[in-house]
Amino acid sequence: MKKLIIMLALMALAVAHLPATWADMGHHHHMLMDGRGMVMNANSDKLPQDCQALSETVDITIHAGHQHALAFNGKMFAFDKQQWDVKPCAKINITFINDDHIRHQLMIHGLPGYLYPEGMFHLELYGAGELKASLIVPSQKKTYLVHCELPQHMEKGMKAQLKVGGGDGDLPSIPGISAPVKADHYAIDWQQSTWLILLVCIMAGLLLPFIAITFIKLKRKQP
């Protein structure tokens, strides 16, 4: 009986502690989660300290998925656009659409930490679907990194930039915009078998037209 009472007491303490833990997470990261995905650090009404008022409200729809990487050689994932331009102190209403059936994220880094814990705005979808959230950017002319932080997604093309007030330059390795820091190199292993295959392909390319022409001439000569 004594052991049962102790166990019940420990369970009660654990349950009593859970809401405090969740509240703490919500306080520090403004996290909203459901079965579709997650929103962190959304901000639709708090102005940065250097903004007296909103300069504009911009609605942006951002698609993420494999199909958007087809325009870039060697890439596997991408956003449908690689750059967005807004005014300083703009409010951005983002609609994030995942066109794949795997998990994708949209993260913006470098924002002021007093409004966005760890300087981050984060949208995440666990599969195909849509999320909406807003943020307000400061007045500083700056280029912010937009990317998916899942392993290899950014390296394989899911990287873009948000320019505020024209930005302060291009970030490296933005597909279609800036040169990669380290370009992918697909070297050919020139072994003896590789040369043999290449030679066979060249000979076939030279002989096949001749064979085809000869065959057509023979067919025409037949009564």
> Which of 63, 72, 70, 69 minimizes the C-alpha distance to 106?
63
CA distance 32 to 34: 7
Query: pLDDT by residue for the chain (223 residues), tens digit each?
Result: 555 455 555 555 544 444 433 333 444 457 888 889 999 999 999 999 999 999 999 999 999 999 999 999 889 999 999 999 999 999 999 999 999 999 999 999 999 999 999 999 999 999 999 999 999 999 999 999 999 999 899 999 999 999 999 999 999 999 999 988 776 665 666 778 878 888 888 888 888 887 878 777 777 766 6
Is the entire prediction scored with pTM above 0.95? no
The DSSP code for 25 is H
CA distance 95 to 56: 17
Q: What's the chain's length in residues?
A: 223
Give the architecture (CATH level 2) of 29-164: Sandwich (2.60)
CA distance 126 to 95: 15
Q: Hey, where are the domains in the chain?
A: 29-164
Tokens of 18: 């859970």
